[in-house]
A and B are shown apart, each in its own frame.
Chain A
Amino acid sequence: MKYVDEFRDPRLIRQAADEVRRLARPDRHYRIMEVCGGHTHAIYRFGLEGLLPGNVELIHGPGCPVCVLPMGRTDDGLALAELPGVVFTAFGDVMRVPGTKGSPLEHKARGAEIRMVYSPLDALKLAQGHPGKHVVFFAIGFETTAPSTALTLLKARQLGLGNFSVFCNHVTIIPAIRAILDSPDMRLDAFVGPGHVSTVIGCRPYEFIAQDYGKPIVVSGFEPLDVLQSLVMILRQLADGRSEVENQYARVVPWEGNLPALRALEEVFELRPYFEWRGLGFISQSALKLRDEFAEWDSERRFDVPGIRVTDPKAAQCGEVLKGVLKPPQCKLFGTECTPERPVGALMVSSEGACAAYYHYVHRMAAAGSLEG
């Protein structure tokens, strides 16, 4: 498969891993955060941690939309799902996210009309086909998925579609990275930059990381070779004392981003004054809401959304894991109370969640003490 096989070439992967080992100074410990949950997944899925020397530590960042969404927002969305005549639609990732009264799938089993969609346009089509129902799309994701929500809303307006609305949970990555950089808990050396988000926003928004905070960031692809090459580029910057924004994923990510997508975002959304993130708390100007012109398609304005604030289950340490303070298996509930099948916390749900990825790809191997296979 083009653009995949080249980046899974065993010989090149071994070479890149050798280069990482060569560049990592034995007297130094490197803490490198992969911002994006897609990278977390790839790192575990391809067993990349096992290829790295012990002093190159990967810290899993906040770039997993399902993980950072506080439970109250899920409850709000599910309150909409329980309204008569409402069809609640969401991406597959959301379907097993626990709310206070269970996940969307559990609500479905109890009779709520809940459908999984692959795109917000599918939700819009559903609304067109069921004029007697109101279709709510539970929108979630960073700048990666927000443009498709924006285009869907533009289309809904163009069609004058009255029975469709969006419950918007889109968040933006830059304020989250800044919050992490400002957090006293976080002593990071560099970032593996999010690849998919950058296809939309480009590389320029990361310049403050290099310039103001003096940390290297390399925007990376998701294949094993991509991640290792990005680590090589980071370690070279650190060895040279440089801090720059570099683009390893130039085959997909344009430096200036995707201008039509950015224009669609600008037209449809504006920043919320603040938004709550799991683990990171309230971050100002870190999330999107629909502009006034789109109020008719805004679930939060069309319906009486309860606006619940719920704390996570006490014993769950999702916040600490999200900030990289704890590794997934260090959480008290990991693998016992909290498993992918019966998740207590959202990090155990999404394929991009650090806990789910660790549980699926590493946990039993580590438990058996045989990482070498």
Chain B
Amino acid sequence: MKIAEAPVDNAPALPRVRFRDARIEMSHGAGGKASRRLIEGLIAPLLGGPLLAPLADAAFLEVDGARLALTADSFVVRPLRFPGGSIGELAVNGTVNDLAVSAAQPLALLLTFVIEEGIATETLEAELRAIAEAARRAGVEIVGGDTKVVEHGKADGLYVTTAGLGRADLRARLSPRSVRPGDQVLLSGPIGDHGITILLARGEIDLEADLRSDTRSVYPFVEAILGVAASGLRWMRDPTRGGVATALNELARDSGLGIVLHEEEIPVREAVRGACELLGLDPLHIANEGQFLAVVAPELAEAALAAVRAVPGGGEAVIIGEVREQPARTVLAAASYGGTRVVDMLVGDPLPRIC
């Protein structure tokens, strides 16, 4: 195995994070600031090499001249089934999407099941069927895995971990460092559907809404962008835990640039907006499982948008903002009446165990 190119480091060095928390709390898994601190302050320093350093959705390896993308994911959602999907579908689509937003064509998955003693075979079989169907739709093959059973009370029915292998698309070289002021931020569709669906599916709050998880493979959209705008495609991310706000804050931080969002352009369904208003949540912090963000050079942004919209399910894609020099490392939301606010990363954990 040969190590792929080291990341070009032209952004100013960031202060090193130290993990000082005495214990692991739920917020360390919520995808926001605390997760970032755990990864950068404890995991990466102990395990990291040059390939881990970019902390991207997938790692790239060159094997005998072929450039491969490798990713891993795990799924601990409660409840196992929810409107619009289930843990099995999430496992396939989540892994596929990590490859897709790394500009890699998903090829194969490994799946490991940690099964709780006592779960009905029917439940497991339903998940296996959901996995098979999602894999068929996403065009990936399940090529292996592992099965463990743990005592009753230990695994909430079923945990799934995955590994995904993809073929890197050589037309695109994605990195936060390649992002430039003036680049446009494209969003594939309405945000917050997944997180709010799970929250409501738990039945802990007396709210009902006609809402479904958005879980799906985003590769068809990525493929469409690569077809028309690969040379101007700078960065992509699927905004899962922590939402659009966290994904864009990471980009702002890693690129050293600012991002200004046109708040009124960001598509949010009525049911999601309503639930967020009632619960004091920001849709920008809510998880998605079938959307992605792409930063595209200004001259190719319209073409990229048109390409995404032409793919079935992409009709609600929109340009939500642009990259600016200032304020550095910050995401702002501007309203058309002139008010401007900072959009911060998620702090804490409003919705545990959503994927």
Contact = CB atoms under 8 A, between A and B. Distances in A.
Contact of A109 (B24, B280, B332, B337): B24
A11 B347 CA distance: 33
Interface of A: 1, 4, 8, 10-11, 13-14, 17, 44-48, 50-51, 92, 95-96, 105-106, 108-110, 118, 122, 224, 340-341, 351, 359-365, 367-373
Contact of B205 (A118, A224, A340, A373): A118
Nearest to B268: A1
A110 B337 CA distance: 47
Contacts of A11: 337
B199 to A, nearest CB: 10
Contacts of B26: 105
B347 A362 contact: no
Interface string B97-112: 0000000000000000
Nearest to B334: A373
Contacts of B27: 105
Interface in B28-42: 33-34
Contact of A14 (B280, B337, B340, B350): B337
A45 B341 contact: yes
A99 B22 CA distance: 16
Q: Which of B25, B258, B338, B344 has the most CB of A within 10 A?
A: B338
B327 interface: yes
B327 A50 contact: no
B39 to A, nearest CB: 15
Given A106-B23, A110-B23, A118-B204, A10 B337 contact: yes
Contact of B341 (A1, A10, A47, A370): A47
Given A45-B341, A96-B348, A10 B25 contact: no
B265 interface: no
A308 to B, nearest CB: 22
Given A46-B335, A48-B339, A368 B327 contact: yes
A113 to B, nearest CB: 14
A373 B260 contact: yes
Contact of A371 (B33, B204, B340): B340
Contact of A340 (B334, B337, B347): B347
Nearest to B344: A360
Nearest to A121: B206
A50 B339 contact: yes
A341 B34 contact: yes
A326 B285 CA distance: 30
Contacts of A110: 23
B123 interface: no
A360 B33 CA distance: 13
A370 B327 contact: yes
B337 A373 contact: no
A362 B341 contact: yes
Contact of B336 (A10, A96, A367): A10
Nearest to B264: A10
B209 interface: no
Given A341-B347, A360-B344, A368-B330, A108 B339 contact: no
A365 B204 contact: no
A283 to B, nearest CB: 27
Contacts of A13: 335, 337-339
Given A364-B327, A368-B327, A47 B260 contact: no
Contacts of B23: 106, 109-110
A17 B338 contact: yes
Contacts of B145: none
B341 A361 contact: yes
